[in-house]
Structure 1
Amino acid sequence: MAPILLSRPLGALSAGLCLALISCAAPPRIIDKTKPAQRAEFVMYEWHDDQGPGTVKIRINLSEQRATYTRGGRDIGWSYVATGKEGHGTPSGTYRITEKIVDKHSNRYGWIENEWGEITNGDATPGSKKEPGERYVPAPMPYWMRLTSYGIGMHAGVIPQPGETASHGCIRLPKELAPILFDAVSVGTSVSIVH
């Protein structure tokens, strides 16, 4: 079929010609609007620790929102992370894990929910205004690994969009990886945070 040259926008063509152009170009793609849209699945982490000699070291790249894990200089894994969003940036530098707590809750951030458990404010602080029947719920930070004296650490958390920031400054880890990493590190483990 010879190419058709258009002298006016496609929207101005008759419906018949539009249908002819579409049917010649490619078979129609049928979209089932009764089913929810499918999101691309991300591999959130890989872990292949040989548990051989050497200590674990962690390197967090703020630009990529990824962490790499080594043991004795050998690569043992990587993961997506979610670090501090604008206004709550995660500070770069070299740190050591100073505290490990399996079941910790934030004393700074959380949410407010009503009497039916529905969240009415998803980004609240202990001092946020509450309506009658509402309560403040501190954010859970399972598998907490403290890095600073002022509340920055690593813990299991939601990573809403891999590669993008999301936290109030902490380093959120994939929920399935956090307990594995928690067991592999100790107080004193080196963590470097770079741009």
Structure 2
Amino acid sequence: MRLLVFLPALLLLPSCSLFRSGPPPKASYVMYEWDDDKGPGDVSVEIDLSSQIATYKRAGRTIGWSFVSTGKEGKSTSPGNYKVSEMMELKHSNLYGWITDPEGNVSNGDAQPTTPVPEGHTYHPAPMNHWMRLTWSGIGMHAGEIRQPGVAASHGCIRLPRDFVPKLYKVAKVGTPVKIIKSGAPKAELPRATADAGT
């Protein structure tokens, strides 16, 4: 099964230039592939920080891959061998969130609980759907935005494609091994969607 994500060029443009020259071109990428044979053995995860791609195996048999988004510079995700230690359908971050104005518009998209909140504004802790904890210092895997596949952009957690993460959550368990490596391998060309690819 494949999921396609469309990344409009307008996400990179200032708001003053929207819709001045017709609809922006779109680039589509395959965000994941999943083919779990549901056979014997447990699931394991390997995340490559260099390519920003995770590989999923069941007893050594590859059953899928997905793009991820790990910690950006200054908040990088540490390589190592981990195990899922907690699973929650929905967890709210106690470290990060955003602030909205009285009309509900985001006034600060990268806030923390200690960030001063202007009068009338509201702080919202970031929701982390399908949370799978890896460390007790707050690092885990969860659903999140991957706006630029292949680019690290999180605060240290591992973001997984939103439509994919329920599939992994269903077969993972407390104790599932997660290996994070930094291969140093050059980034491969992003997998492009084919004309007949399904959604």
TM more than 0.5 = yes
Runs of 4 or more consecutive aligned structure 1 residues displaced over 2 Å after TM superposition? 32-36
Please tell me the residue identity of whatever aligns with 1:179: P
> What root-mean-square deviation, in Å, do the aligned CA atoms of Structure 1 and Structure 2 show?
1.1
SS of equivalent residue, structure 2 residue 169: helix
After TM superposition, give the deviation of residue 94 of structure 1 in Å. Answer: 0.2
Give the aligned partner of residue 75 of structure 1: 62
Structure 2 stretches lacking a partner, 5+ long = 1-18, 183-199
Match of 2:44 among 57, 69, 87: 57
Higher strand proportion, which one? 2
* Structure index of larger Rg: 1
TM-score by length of 1: 0.82
Please tell me the residue identity of whatever aligns with 1:87: G
Measure the CA separation in 2 of the matches of 1:39 and 1:129. 38
Give the aligned partner of residue 175 of structure 2: 188
Match of 1:116 among 96, 100, 103: 103
Show CA shifts across 1:74-100 (max 9, x none).
110000000000110001000000000
Match of 2:81 among 77, 81, 94: 94
Measure the CA separation in 1 of the matches of 2:123 and 2:87. 25
Q: Note the 1:1-195 alignment, pairs <5 A.
A: 34-195=21-182
Measure the CA separation in 2 of the matches of 1:153 and 1:73. 23
SS of equivalent residue, structure 1 residue 40: strand
After TM superposition, give the deviation of residue 33 of structure 1 in Å. Answer: 5.2
Please tell me the residue identity of whatever aligns with 1:116: E
SS of equivalent residue, structure 2 residue 116: coil
Structure 1 stretches lacking a partner, 5+ long = 1-31
Show CA shifts across 1:117-145 (max 9, x none).
10000000011122111011000100000
After TM superposition, give the deviation of residue 39 of structure 1 in Å. Answer: 2.4
SS of equivalent residue, structure 1 residue 46: strand
TM-score by length of 2: 0.80
After TM superposition, give the deviation of residue 34 of structure 1 in Å. Answer: 4.3
Measure the CA separation in 2 of the matches of 1:69 and 1:124. 33
What percentage of residue pairs aligned between the two structures are identical?
54
Show CA shifts across 1:22-54 (max 9, x none).
xxxxxxxxxx95422122111100000010001
Measure the CA separation in 2 of the matches of 1:133 and 1:36. 36
Please tell me the residue identity of whatever aligns with 1:64: S
Please tell me the residue identity of whatever aligns with 2:137: Y
